Amino acid sequence: MAGHSKWKNIQHRKGRQDALRGKIFAKLAREIYVAAKQGDKDPANNTKLRLAIAKAKAQNMPNENIERAIKKAAGGNSSEQYEQITYEGYGPGGIAVMVEALTDNRNRTAADIRHIFSKRGGNLGETGCVSWMFERKGLLVLDRSEVNMDEEELLLLALESGAEDFETTEKAYEITTAPEKFEEVKQALEEAGLTFTTAEVTFIPSNKVHVQGEIIKDVFNLIEALEDHDDVQNVYTNFDIDDDELARYV
């Protein structure tokens, strides 16, 4: 899961997540609104809405923002209609890129995404060209400095509650689950007093492409441009970078 976790670390180092917090909250609110609009307004009866709320809370989105998005969907007065579209393509160095968008104008968004790819050394491909390289998994990331138990105890708790994999990095513990086990594992860890920096069902690459040198900057520029687009909700990639290379370019 190098592409996912390292990109999160890069964002923190560059201060991008704080700088873009308002935009992040707006995108999360849109995701919650669409989930509530398309299904039950009660998270207990709407899995998609529960997952959207879990993702928002992991980003420290205020409860009032979450409630406002659900009430907006329940009100029925909004004329906003969003369509979920996934774009697939290749970036610099041959990395695979998947982009999930929520848009009210399919033609505008498609043209924008194509332009971003072509301007930054990538190319937009056909549906299915890279999605086979990714697996849908639940991902729970914990800041090691905030975990109130030792690693062995956490590992045992995660596995006993149904996790598939457990990985330790320099600053975090990363726990992966089958999508259907995500909420069960998350709840077990929460009951143990743990909180997450990331809690979502996401796409994790099954194979990775190593990038180095100047291509690293090109990869970062493409991902940043995609994430900055108002209609883009998530960007998934399969790049991997050595830590010493990462320190040199960030």
pLDDT at 43 over 90: yes
Residues 69 and 21 in one domain: yes
pLDDT band at residue 28, thresholds of 50, 70 and 90?
A: very high
Residues 10 and 56 in one domain: yes
Q: Of 199, 202, 197, which Cα lies nearest the Cα of 186?
A: 199
Are 239 and 93 contacting, i.e. CB atoms less than 8 angstroms apart?
Answer: yes
* Rounded Cα distance, 28 and 210, in Å: 30
Q: 113: exposed, middle or buried (C-beta count within 10 Å: 0-12, 13-18, 19+)?
A: buried
Give the DSSP letter string of 171-205: SEEEEEE-GGGHHHHHHHHHHTT---SEEEEEEEE
Highest mean pLDDT among 13-17, 19-23, 34-38: 34-38
Residue type, 46: N
Which domain-ending residue is among 205, 221, 240? 205
Helix (H, G, I), strand (E, B) or coil at 123: strand
Q: In which domain, by residue range, is 26 found?
A: 2-75
Which domain-ending residue is among 32, 54, 75? 75
pLDDT score, position 165:
94
Give the pTM. Answer: 0.87
* Rounded Cα distance, 111 and 126, in Å: 14
pLDDT at 245 over 50: yes
* Rounded Cα distance, 161 and 176, in Å: 12
What is the overall mean pLDDT for the chain?
Answer: 90
Residues 121 and 216 in one domain: yes
Residues 46 and 154 in one domain: no
Which CATH number do you get for residue 180?
A: 3.30.70.980
Residues 239 and 148 in one domain: no
Residues 115 and 214 in one domain: yes
pLDDT at 63 over 70: yes
Backbone angles phi, psi at 192, to 5 degrees: -90, 5
Residues 71 and 91 in one domain: no
pLDDT band at residue 248, thresholds of 50, 70 and 90?
A: confident
Residues 63 and 106 in one domain: no
Which CATH number do you get for residue 23?
A: 1.10.10.200
Residues 123 and 220 in one domain: yes
pLDDT score, position 133:
96
Residues 122 and 215 in one domain: yes
Residues 95 and 218 in one domain: yes
Domain count of the fold of the chain: 3
